[in-house]
Amino acid sequence: MSEPITSVADNILNVENIRKDFPVLTQIVRGKPLIYLDNAATTHKPSSVIERISKFDAEEYGTVRRGAYKLSENATQVYEESRQKVADFMGAEKKGEVVFTSGTTQAINLVAHSFGKRFVNAGDEIIISNIEHHANTVPWQVLCEERGAKLKVIPVNDAGELMIEEYEKLLSSKTRMVAINHVSNALGTINPIKEIIEKAHAVGAKVLVDGAQSIPHMKVDVQDIDCDFYTFSGHKMYAPSGIGGVYGKMDLWEELPPYVTGGDMIMQVTLEKTTYAKPPARFEAGTPPITQVIGLGAAIDYLNAIGLDKIADYENTLLEYGTRLFNEIEGVRIIGNAHHKASIISFYIEAAHPHDVVTLLDQDGISCRGGHHCAQPTMIRYGVPATTRASMAFYNKPEELDALAESVKKCIRFFSA
């Protein structure tokens, strides 16, 4: 007899202890204990992050980079310590290679705008894939329209995997940028990012990796994969919303013009001309979200204390268990069955629209996402208007997936009646 799932999971990490760190998880929703399975949209914060933010705001808050007084000096120091934590977490060589933005969306817009202005011209080509978030689609479409460049798209197979042999055919000396997610938010596919980057570099193209869904769930090493840019969002990694950023190779940052202009990004301003600060300041105009940056540093401390390898192992166990449960439910089609997947199960029930499914799940205290997940081209590819998505974090328990499966069965009975 195979070992029960709870003991397999317990051998990796003690989820009951972990759950004590997340105050929100004790909530009762519609008379039932909250089962939170929308972690790909946003994650909850452990007490250590909440307490760090609160202490910073109560006792340490000050503006950064400008003041020559104690509060400002201290705030600047902890702000820059957070940048170092992010750099170490991603495996960046230099702290200054990390530029803070409000999140992945702004990070991709920054790169599309600045890189595009400097390096993309009429006749050039940009490559994305058929399973990108709109945040990694629209900025490149706009750039191509503005510069007279062409957008090319890597197709996916029925399992949700990129067709690498088709990608190879799209690459040429005209390719300036390959912009690709590490993990698809709609399907959970983990893309073979190192191989994709190697092939792009072989034709002289740069690579931006949208890491919004990977950074919180697996160990990432930007130097090892050799990407040119790598983006992330704090609110998907147990940190506050309103903060995120992008790693970029320093020699590339140095060549790029600013995106947003104003205070703090300058070297000198006269009424005739402005010279720009060095990166990362060149790309961080205005007063940044200071408290959120401190919270991000605390979230990284928390993740490091557990260990990304353990987190990945545990979440993988949840994924395998949930997939098994869903495969046994008649009337459920899992969209996205890639060989390498992160802890996301996207599914479709013929009997009901995902919006109705999630409304019923909510009656059982279960928070799932129903919609196109800002990936409409992906929905079109799989012939569905939307999916219901359960996305797991390391604070989820196998028992919660049992409850989800029961609730989905109830839902199918209800809509088929």
Instruction: Summarize as ranges the residues that interact with ligand PMP (CB under 6 A).
Output: 40, 103-105, 133, 135-136, 181, 185, 210, 212-213, 233, 244, 374
Nearer residue to ligand PMP within complex by CB, 213 or 387: 213
Strands 32-33 and 206-210: unpaired
Query: Which helix (H) or strand (E) covers residue 407, if one does?
Result: helix 398-416
Count of Cβ atoms closer than 10 Å to residue 105 Cβ: 21
The answer to whether 143 touches 173, Cβ cutoff 8 Å, is no
Residue 174: name the closest of 145, 203, 144 by CA: 203
Nearer residue to ligand PMP within complex by CB, 104 or 323: 104
Label residue 14 left, alpha or beta by phi (over 0 means left) and psi (-120 to 50 means alpha).
beta
Query: Which helix (H) or strand (E) covers residue 190, if one does?
Result: none
The answer to whether 374 is a known catalytic residue is: yes
The answer to whether 265 touches 284, Cβ cutoff 8 Å, is yes
Nearer residue to ligand PMP within complex by CB, 220 or 411: 220
Task: Read off the amino acid at residue 121.
Answer: N
Q: Give least dist CB 390 to ligand PMP, A.
A: 15
**CA-CA distances (angstroms) from residue 97 to 195, 196, 281?**
23, 22, 10
Query: Which residue has tokens 């760090």?
Result: 52
Strands 369-371 and 387-391: antiparallel
Q: Give least dist CB 184 to ligand PMP, A.
A: 7
Q: Give least dist CB 44 to ligand PMP, A.
A: 15
Nearer residue to ligand PMP within complex by CB, 237 or 412: 237
Q: Give least dist CB 240 to ligand PMP, A.
A: 12
Q: Give least dist CB 185 to ligand PMP, A.
A: 3
Nearer residue to ligand PMP within complex by CB, 108 or 366: 108
Catalytic residue among 227, 368, 374, 411: 374
The answer to whether 235 touches 103, Cβ cutoff 8 Å, is yes
The answer to whether 344 touches 390, Cβ cutoff 8 Å, is yes
* Joined tokens for residue 39: 């972690």
CA distance 350 to 370: 14
Nearer residue to ligand PMP within complex by CB, 136 or 396: 136
Q: Give least dist CB 374 to ligand PMP, A.
A: 6
Spacing of C-alpha 103 from chain mean position: 9
Count of Cβ atoms closer than 10 Å to residue 317 Cβ: 20
Nearer residue to ligand PMP within complex by CB, 133 or 147: 133
Q: Give least dist CB 102 to ligand PMP, A.
A: 7
Nearer residue to ligand PMP within complex by CB, 75 or 98: 98
Give the dihedral sign, CA 204/210/211/213. Answer: negative
**CA-CA distances (angstroms) from residue 408 to 87, 280, 347?**
41, 47, 10
Burial 355-371 (b: 16+ CB within 10 A, else e): ebbbebbbebbbbbbbb
Residue 405: name the closest of 340, 341, 338, 318 by CA: 318
Catalytic residues: 374
